[in-house]
């Protein structure tokens, strides 16, 4: 089948959604289909440009396409008789961000008209779609709340699971992924100051800003943790990242209130590693069950220190929890073949 | 103006026009219909005169024709047409059918008069409330209040021809307008939603009839001065009589003929005045086409005065020019646009004095009369052609159809926005509308530069 | 610079129209620019022409320093620094209007659509900072229909250094899509009349199997099986380079094509002469008879004579092959020039 993946484009920017679309296309091709990604430029500032861009997408004519899989607003407004949505994003500024006062829609009649148009257009797009999938429970809840549409959660799989073979832990907790305030790697470093000497931590990943890197470096220095905390702050090639993860006792991932599971957690589970997270981390808690697949604590250095100590010193428990995490993850069946199968039903 | 050289596909057209033989507009429409058919288009004519006015001879357009009251037939013709054209002038009895159908079917209006007060006034009698609403929309409460209160025709024209000419009332209902002169264009442009063009009226070349065209102009005998058309005060017959009466040479050496319908009172008044002043006046009343040609052929000078200027273009003046007759006109409105070397112009506020001067000059100079007449004829032949009119008309049909294409496209967007919780107003946001300017269809005259 | 490359596309249809964009993208990236490639769909239905054009007008590419537009209606995308590398019009409304290829009636409505399209196109073309085309043919059309002047900027092929010459065997190759308007059948017919042992190899994919069947049938009917090879299917770049490196000459004889075509260019880089016909259109901007190839009338007998000539007069063939490379330099067909002009 000829499957067109339709996504937004913010010119000259490339992020998680673009990666996802590219992997979706690659996996569709591997599954024997023909696939391309249509990337539609979308600029939401100023908000008065939104209506014309909505009309733009709506006016595009597709030919020679059997199926459309659309990912975001306004890309999913595109017309096609067989359209499936895999919602990564609605235009949150018309919904929850409007409620919390963080919208770019002006507070006047024009803004209200645009808002209502977005809601109505979303409804129209949802109605004309054959199936609606969402990428997280949070997205599903929002969709139900604001637009009154049901949807099925379809979590995006890992793109390179074969790298995460696991193996014996070398006695450290690994914290991977982007480094910034929301991801809260600094809590882990602070926790190390309260942890016993055998506890060790490796933080590896690209800092969003130089300040994010400096904050961690200062904390390590401040608490004299130079011999117990390793900071490898850069964009890591996949093989190096996988090496760190595969040799860890446990993987810590404790962002503040995130929608999705988090690739770090999925990778950890694939590798059979126990997980450490916080009560307020959001989507990742779908994988972390305290006592079963890992530790969940208050987002404070002390309880975190305890969890990290256990992970580093109690190999047996760490291994057991890790195996259970892997089981749980496999049961979720979040693989590309299965994802594609669902998207194309 | 340059016309489009691209080929034009054969069109099905419906032409609304008055069919009585006496109608000058009908005569002009006939020329245009002939030209259109000659170019390969198919034309159906709908006669627009009131049923009551359908007496006397009816013109044969040489094409399929029907009366505007034959609703089913007219509707069928409209439905299968590429475009609908309305020839409209300031006379309800001739144009009632156009008013009726224009409301129901937008089309191209060929506007023969900028001042449409008479048309509107009569139309308004059957539904004053509606007429008042129209007046209010275009001219405000004050005019709406006083419009129907005038006691005489002269007062009415005086009061309304500048402030409430009703041009907008018709222009706003058209998909495009062809006007025949420029002076009243402002109101047309402001009201018409589609393209507007300035096109010289179509006239056929009047065959030379009679001796005075061919033989040398002699200075023997009285100089024949002629005025053609329905004799009303606006045509300034009285003024001509006074001008002739003011100079002995003119009194002795000039005859003045009035050829056109005239009311008894008016006739009596003018004849009395002429008697009193010693002016040789001949009042013919309404004349046949043939008689008119004979009179034109025998005229040394044609006085075509209008004060105030109400017509978009003057059929009488054009006919006189095509007949190589020296012409005296007022320097206002359509007449001011005539070339200075083709006609003699008098100042509207010095009518008698200027007229007297011009008549004396023309009487004394037969060669001037001849050259003025020839010059006027040459220019008129080139300008007032049915060929040009028909071509401009079909161009405008294409242009307004292209405007329609743009509207259709906009409507697709408007409908989609309407479905999005009534967001049609978003179409007018600068971010939405601005980029669409490349689709603009030319307004007055195609801008290809 | 942040450069946006903008073109229309049909999903899952690949080829020349995409190559020019993607090869330019690679070249620009290699020069250190940031490049974003924007492909938007388009269907040539008359009734949908203007809604789609409006869609392209609403594209916001302010994030780019410069926008380069290719296939219509991409040329209408608004940007203060817009450069066009104009490949072709929506031809049914232009040069194909008076041909059987129009595909819809020339009634009043379609005439109006045509006129409205011409006007809108002209306005959009005038917005551009520079207008380039891929051939003199297209430049002429822009002048004739839109009154717009343009500069011919010949599209190079990607990594031309891959093509080289290893020798001249006895095979003339025709490597391109196998379609009726590419006229492989003429060449096969020509093989009936050749007097020398010259051979023919046709390589390429086809969108229609009946034409390929027809070619096989011709080969069978005239017993040409030993001298004509038809390789129907996708040919790899490496394979193409090899065939061109070894062949006697390359043939390229499409019917009245807009531009010279990549096959002519590839052959030239490989230092081989090109066999073409007088009605091939843009190919004749590249090939001059006797200089870097042979141009004959599109008749099998004449093509046969040309094939024989290539076989027999090896010196001339090799000379023309060398001249083919020179011709490229003469016409300045290279990426450096392209970048220079597009980024001016």
Q: What is the pLDDT of residues B429-439, one digit of tens each?
A: 999 999 999 99
Same domain, A196 and A113: no
Q: Are B388 and B197 in contact (CB under 8 A)?
A: no
- CB contacts under 8 A, B 418-447 vs A, are 419-423, 425-426, 429-432, 435
Nearest to B423 among A46, A48, A113 (CB): A113
What are chain B's domains? 12-198 (3.40.50), 211-383 (3.40.50.2000)
Helix (H, G, I), strand (E, B) or coil at C128: coil
What the block records as the tokens of B333 is 């409105």
How close does chain A come to C342, measured CA to CA in Å? 19
Neighbours of chain C (3+ CB pairs under 8 A): A, B
Nearest to C50 among B11, B401, B409 (CB): B409
Size of interface B-C (CB pairs under 8 A): 54
Say which CATH number the domain at A207 has: 3.40.50.2000
B413: chain A residues, CB-CB within 8 Å: 55, 59
- Cβ distance C54 to A62 less than 8 Å, yes or no, reads no
| pLDDT confidence of residue B217 | 52
- Cβ distance A51 to B435 less than 8 Å, yes or no, reads no
Nearest to A120 among B419, B429, B432 (CB): B419
Neighbours of chain B (3+ CB pairs under 8 A): A, C
- Of A287, A294, A338, A299, the C-alpha closest to A137 is A287
Decide if pLDDT at A19 tops 50.
yes
Same domain, A85 and A136: yes
How close does chain C come to A88, measured CA to CA in Å? 21
Indicate which of C51, C54, C148 best probes the interface with B, i.e. most B CBs within 10 Å of its own CB.
Answer: C54
- Cβ distance C58 to A36 less than 8 Å, yes or no, reads no
Q: Are A154 and A338 in contact (CB under 8 A)?
A: no
Same domain, A137 and A177: no
- The dihedrals phi and psi of B304, each to the nearest 5 degrees, come to -120, 80
Determine the Cα–Cα distance for residues A4 and A2; give it in Å rounded to an integer. Answer: 7
Residue C56 CB neighbour total at 10 angstroms: 24
Q: Are C333 and C154 in contact (CB under 8 A)?
A: yes
How close does chain B come to A145, measured CA to CA in Å? 19
Determine the Cα–Cα distance for residues C137 and C135; give it in Å rounded to an integer. Answer: 5
Q: HSE on the CB side for C67, CA within 13 Å? A: 24
Cβ–Cβ contact A125 with C under 8 A: no
| pLDDT confidence of residue B312 | 67
Determine the Cα–Cα distance for residues B155 and C34; give it in Å rounded to an integer. Answer: 76
- Cβ distance C41 to A39 less than 8 Å, yes or no, reads no
| pLDDT confidence of residue B207 | 56
Residue A215: inside a domain, yes or no? yes
CA-based nearest residue in chain C for residue B394: C108
Domain boundary (A154, A178, A198) is at: A154
Same domain, A19 and A84: yes
- Of B90, B2, B95, the C-alpha closest to B50 is B95
Residue A260's pLDDT band (boundaries 50, 70, 90)? confident
Helix (H, G, I), strand (E, B) or coil at A160: coil
Indicate which of B409, B411, B442, B446 best probes the interface with C, i.e. most C CBs within 10 Å of its own CB.
Answer: B409
Indicate which of C2, C11, C21, C56 best probes the interface with A, i.e. most A CBs within 10 Å of its own CB.
Answer: C11
Cβ–Cβ contact A60 with B under 8 A: no
Residue A173: inside a domain, yes or no? yes
Same domain, A197 and A119: no
| pLDDT confidence of residue A88 | 87
Q: Are B197 and B178 in contact (CB under 8 A)?
A: yes
Nearest to A51 among B419, B422, B429 (CB): B429
Nearest to C11 among A36, A43, A49 (CB): A36
Q: HSE on the CB side for A261, CA within 13 Å? A: 26
CA-based nearest residue in chain A for residue B426: A51
Q: HSE on the CB side for B115, CA within 13 Å? A: 20
Same domain, A101 and A191: no
Helix (H, G, I), strand (E, B) or coil at A135: coil
- Cβ distance C2 to A55 less than 8 Å, yes or no, reads no
Domain boundary (A154, A178, A201) is at: A154
Determine the Cα–Cα distance for residues A45 and A64; give it in Å rounded to an integer. Answer: 33
- Cβ distance B417 to A51 less than 8 Å, yes or no, reads yes
Determine the Cα–Cα distance for residues A23 and A88; give it in Å rounded to an integer. Answer: 14
B429: chain A residues, CB-CB within 8 Å: 48, 51-52, 110
Query: In this structure, is the dihedral angle defined by the CA atoms of residues C324, C329, C332 and C338, taken in order, positive or negative?
Result: positive
Please return the burial class of B7, using the count of CB atoms within 10 Å of its CB with bins 0-12, 13-18 and 19+. Answer: exposed
The ipTM (two decimal places) reads 0.91
What range does the domain containing A104 cover? Answer: 2-154
- Cβ distance B405 to C108 less than 8 Å, yes or no, reads no
Same domain, A317 and A175: yes
| pLDDT confidence of residue B445 | 34
| pLDDT confidence of residue B219 | 52
What the block records as the tokens of C149 is 């002047």
Q: Are C226 and C200 in contact (CB under 8 A)?
A: no
Determine the Cα–Cα distance for residues B154 and B150; give it in Å rounded to an integer. Answer: 9
- The dihedrals phi and psi of B187, each to the nearest 5 degrees, come to -70, -35
Same domain, A328 and A208: yes
Domain boundary (A129, A154, A179) is at: A154
- Cβ distance B9 to C111 less than 8 Å, yes or no, reads yes
B417: chain C residues, CB-CB within 8 Å: none
Q: Are C285 and C252 in contact (CB under 8 A)?
A: no
CA separation (Å) from C21 to A4, A42, B134, C77, C329? 20, 21, 58, 16, 22
Same domain, A209 and A93: no
Query: In this structure, is the dihedral angle defined by the CA atoms of residues B71, B73, B76 and B80, taken in order, positive or negative?
Result: negative
- Overall domain count for chain A: 2
- Cβ distance A59 to C42 less than 8 Å, yes or no, reads no
Determine the Cα–Cα distance for residues A212 and A210; give it in Å rounded to an integer. Answer: 5
pLDDT in tens, chain C (344 residues): 999 999 999 999 887 789 999 999 999 999 999 999 999 999 999 999 999 999 999 999 999 999 999 999 999 999 999 999 999 999 999 999 999 889 999 888 898 899 999 999 999 999 999 999 999 999 999 999 999 999 999 999 999 999 999 999 999 999 999 999 999 999 999 999 999 999 999 999 998 889 999 999 999 999 999 999 999 998 999 999 999 999 999 999 999 998 999 999 999 999 999 999 999 999 999 999 999 999 999 999 999 999 999 999 999 999 999 999 999 999 999 999 999 999 99
Nearest to C78 among B8, B406, B435 (CB): B435
Same domain, A147 and A184: no
| Alpha-helix residue ranges (DSSP H) falling in chain A | 16-30, 50-59, 96-99, 109-128, 137-142, 185-194, 210-222, 238-246, 263-270, 301-313, 315-332, 336-343
Nearest to C36 among A4, A11, A38 (CB): A11
What the block records as the tokens of A31 is 């599954």
Cβ–Cβ contact A171 with B under 8 A: no
Say which CATH number the domain at A60 has: 3.40.50
pLDDT per position as a tens digit, C193-205: 999 999 999 999 9
Residues in Cβ contact with C198 at an 8 Å cutoff, skipping those fewer than 6 apart: C170, C171, C172, C227, C248, C307, C308, C310, C311
Neighbouring-strand partners of residue A6: A38, A70
Determine the Cα–Cα distance for residues B44 and B70; give it in Å rounded to an integer. Answer: 13
Residue ranges of chain B with per-residue pLDDT less than 70:
1-7, 205-220, 311-312, 442-449
CA-based nearest residue in chain B for residue A121: B420
A303-337 core/surface letters (b: 16 or more CB in 10 A; e: else): bbbbbbbbbbeeeebbbebbebbbebbeebebebe
Nearest to B405 among C78, C107, C116 (CB): C116
Residue A68: inside a domain, yes or no? yes
Same domain, A254 and A188: yes
Residue A343: inside a domain, yes or no? no
What the block records as the tokens of B143 is 């005019």
Helices (H) and strands (E) in chain C, counts: 11, 12
Instruction: Give CB contacts under 8 A, 24+ apart, made by B288-296.
Output: B289/B21, B291/B259, B292/B228, B292/B259, B293/B206, B293/B209, B293/B210, B294/B209, B294/B210, B295/B226, B295/B228, B295/B257, B295/B259, B296/B206, B296/B209, B296/B210, B296/B226, B296/B228, B296/B320, B296/B323, B296/B325
CA angle B420, B425, B429 (to 5 degrees): 115
Print the SS3 string covering chain B: CCCCCCCCCCCEEEEEECCECCCHHHHHHHHHHHHHHHCCCEEEEEECCCHHHCCCCECCCCCEEEECCCHHHHHHHHHCCCEEEEEECCCHHHHHHHHHHHHHCCCEEEECECCCHHHHHHHHHCCHHHHHHHHHHHHCHHHHHHHHHCCCHHHHHHHHCCCCCCHHHHHCCCCEEEECCCCCHHHHHHHCCCCEEECCCCECCCCCCCHHHHCCCCCCCCEEEEEECCCCHHHCHHHHHHHHHCCHHHHHHEEEEEECCCCHHHHHHHHHHHHHHCCEEEEEECCCHHHHHHHHHHCCEEEECCCCCCECCCHHHHHHHHCCCCEEEECCHHHHCCCCCCCEEECHHHHHHHHHHHHHHHHHCHHHHHHHHHHHHHHHHHHCEHHHHHHHHHHHHHHHHHHHHHHHHHHHHHHHHHHCCCCHHHHHCHHHHHHHHHHCCCCCCCCCC
| pLDDT confidence of residue B55 | 73
Same domain, A170 and A248: yes
| pLDDT confidence of residue B333 | 84
Nearest to A43 among C11, C55, C62 (CB): C62
CA-based nearest residue in chain A for residue C13: A64
What are chain C's domains? 2-153 (3.40.50), 160-330 (3.40.50.2000)
- Cβ distance B420 to A48 less than 8 Å, yes or no, reads no
Cβ–Cβ contact A41 with B under 8 A: no
- Cβ distance A11 to C2 less than 8 Å, yes or no, reads yes
- Of A18, A15, A31, A14, the C-alpha closest to A343 is A31
Cβ–Cβ contact A58 with B under 8 A: yes
Residue B329 CB neighbour total at 10 angstroms: 25
Residue A115: inside a domain, yes or no? yes
Neighbouring-strand partners of residue B65: B45
CA-based nearest residue in chain B for residue C79: B435
């Amino acid at each position: 089948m000829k499957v067109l993946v339709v996504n937004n484009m913010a010119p000259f920017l490339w992020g998680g959604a673009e990666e996802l679309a590219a992997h979706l296309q690659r996996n569709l091709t591997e599954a024997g289909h023909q696939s391309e990604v249509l990337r539609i430029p979308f600029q939401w500032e100023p908000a008065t440009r939104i209506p014309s861009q909505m009309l733009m997408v709506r006016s595009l004519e597709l030919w020679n396409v059997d199926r459309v899989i659309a990912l975001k607003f306004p890309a999913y407004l595109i017309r096609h008789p067989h359209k499936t949505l895999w919602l990564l994003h609605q235009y949150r500024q018309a919904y929850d961000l409007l409620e919390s006062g963080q919208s770019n829609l002006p507070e006047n009649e024009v803004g209200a008209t645009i808002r209502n148009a977005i809601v109505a257009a979303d409804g129209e797009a949802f109605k004309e779609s054959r199936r609606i999938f969402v990428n997280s429970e949070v997205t599903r809840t929002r969709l139900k709340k604001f637009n009154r549409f049901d949807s099925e959660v379809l979590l995006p799989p890992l793109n390179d699971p074969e790298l995460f073979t696991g193996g014996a832990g070398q006695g450290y907790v690994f914290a991977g992924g982007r480094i910034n305030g929301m991801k809260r790697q600094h809590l882990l470093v602070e926790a190390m100051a309260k942890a016993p000497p055998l506890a060790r931590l490796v933080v590896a990943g690209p800092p969003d800003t130089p300040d994010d890197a400096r904050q961690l470096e200062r904390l390590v220095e401040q608490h004299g943790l130079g011999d117990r905390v390793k900071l490898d702050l850069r964009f890591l090639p996949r093989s190096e990242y996988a090496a760190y993860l595969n040799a860890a006792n446990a993987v810590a991932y404790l962002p503040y209130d995130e929608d999705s599971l988090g690739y770090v957690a999925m990778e950890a589970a694939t590798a059979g590693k126990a997980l450490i997270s916080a009560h307020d981390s959001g989507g990742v808690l779908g994988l972390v069950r305290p006592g079963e697949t890992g530790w969940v604590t208050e987002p404070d250095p002390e309880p975190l220190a305890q969890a990290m100590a256990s992970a580093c010193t109690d190999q047996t428990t760490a291994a057991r929890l890790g195996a259970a995490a892997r089981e749980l993850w496999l049961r979720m069946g979040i693989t590309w073949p299965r994802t594609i199968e669902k998207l194309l039903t | 103006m340059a016309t489009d050289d691209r080929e034009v596909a054969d069109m099905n057209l419906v032409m609304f026009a008055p069919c009585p033989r006496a109608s000058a507009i009908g005569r002009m429409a006939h020329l245009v219909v002939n030209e259109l058919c000659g170019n390969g288009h198919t034309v159906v004519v709908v006669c627009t005169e009131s049923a009551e006015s359908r007496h006397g001879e009816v013109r044969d357009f040489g094409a399929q024709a029907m009366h505007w009251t034959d609703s089913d037939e007219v509707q069928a013709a409209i439905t299968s047409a590429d475009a609908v054209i309305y020839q409209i002038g300031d006379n309800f009895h001739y144009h009632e059918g156009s008013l009726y159908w224009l409301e129901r079917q937008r089309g191209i209006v060929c506007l023969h008069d900028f001042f449409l007060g008479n048309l509107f006034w009569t139309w308004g009698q059957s539904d004053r409330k509606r007429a008042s609403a129209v007046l209010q929309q275009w001219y405000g409460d004050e005019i709406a209040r006083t419009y129907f209160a005038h006691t005489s025709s002269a007062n009415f024209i005086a009061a309304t021809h500048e402030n409430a000419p009703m041009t907008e009332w018709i222009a706003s209902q058209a998909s495009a307008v062809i006007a025949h002169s420029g002076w009243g264009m402002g109101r047309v442009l402001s009201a018409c939603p589609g393209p507007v063009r300035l096109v010289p009226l179509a006239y056929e070349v009047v065959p030379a009839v009679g001796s005075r065209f061919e033989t040398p102009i002699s200075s023997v005998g009285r100089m024949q001065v002629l005025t053609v058309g329905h004799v009303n005060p606006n045509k300034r017959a009285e003024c001509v009589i006074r001008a002739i009466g003011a100079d002995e040479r003119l009194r002795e050496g000039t005859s003045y003929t009035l050829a056109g319908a005239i009311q008894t009172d008016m006739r009596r008044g003018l004849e009395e005045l002429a008697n009193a002043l010693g002016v040789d006046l001949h009042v013919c009343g309404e004349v046949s086409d043939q008689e008119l040609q004979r009179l034109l052929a025998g005229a040394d000078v044609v006085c075509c005065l209008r004060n105030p200027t109400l017509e978009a273009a003057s059929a009488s003046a054009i006919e006189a020019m095509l007949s190589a007759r020296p012409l005296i006109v007022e320097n206002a409105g359509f007449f001011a646009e005539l070339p200075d070397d083709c006609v003699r112009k008098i100042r509207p506020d010095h009518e008698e004095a200027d007229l007297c001067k011009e008549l004396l000059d023309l009487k004394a100079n037969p060669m001037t009369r001849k050259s003025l007449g020839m010059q006027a004829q040459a220019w008129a032949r080139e300008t007032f052609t049915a060929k040009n009119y028909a071509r401009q008309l079909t161009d405008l049909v294409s242009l307004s159809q292209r405007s329609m294409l743009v509207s259709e496209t906009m409507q697709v967007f408007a409908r989609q926005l309407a479905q999005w919780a009534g967001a049609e107003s978003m179409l007018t946001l600068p971010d939405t509308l601005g980029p669409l300017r490349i689709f603009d269809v030319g307004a007055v005259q195609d801008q290809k530069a | 610079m942040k450069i946006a490359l903008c073109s229309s596309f049909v999903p899952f249809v690949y080829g020349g129209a995409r190559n020019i964009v993607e090869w330019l993208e690679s070249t620009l990236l290699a020069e250190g620019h940031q490049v974003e490639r924007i492909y938007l769909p388009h269907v040539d239905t008359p009734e949908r022409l203007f809604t789609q054009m409006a869609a392209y007008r609403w594209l916001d590419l302010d994030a780019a320093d410069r926008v380069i537009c290719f296939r219509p209606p991409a040329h209408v995308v608004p940007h203060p620094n817009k450069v066009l590398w104009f490949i072709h019009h929506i031809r049914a409304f232009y040069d194909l209007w008076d041909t059987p290829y129009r595909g819809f009636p020339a009634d009043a409505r379609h005439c109006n659509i045509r006129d409205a399209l011409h006007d809108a196109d002209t306005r959009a073309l005038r917005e551009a900072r520079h207008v380039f085309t891929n051939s003199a043919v297209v430049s002429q059309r822009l002048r004739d229909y839109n009154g717009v002047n343009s500069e011919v900027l010949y599209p190079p092929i990607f990594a031309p250094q891959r093509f080289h010459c290893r020798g001249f065997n006895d095979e003339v190759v025709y490597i391109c899509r196998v379609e009726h308007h590419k006229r492989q059948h003429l060449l096969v017919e020509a093989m009936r009349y050749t007097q020398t042992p010259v051979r023919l190899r046709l390589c390429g994919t086809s969108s229609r199997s009946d034409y390929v069947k027809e070619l096989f049938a011709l080969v069978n009917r005239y017993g040409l099986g030993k001298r004509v090879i038809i390789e129907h299917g996708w040919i790899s770049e490496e394979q193409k380079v090899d065939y061109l490196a070894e062949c006697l000459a390359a043939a390229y004889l499409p019917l009245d094509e807009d531009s010279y075509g990549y096959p002519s260019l590839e052959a030239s880089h490989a230092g081989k002469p090109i066999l073409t016909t007088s009605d091939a259109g843009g190919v004749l901007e590249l090939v001059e008879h006797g200089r870097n190839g042979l141009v004959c009338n599109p008749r099998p007998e004449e093509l046969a004579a040309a094939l024989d000539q290539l076989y027999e007069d090896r010196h001339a063939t090799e000379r023309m092959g060398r001249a083919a490379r020179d011709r490229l330099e003469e016409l300045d067909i290279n990426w450096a020039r392209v970048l220079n002009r597009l980024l001016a």
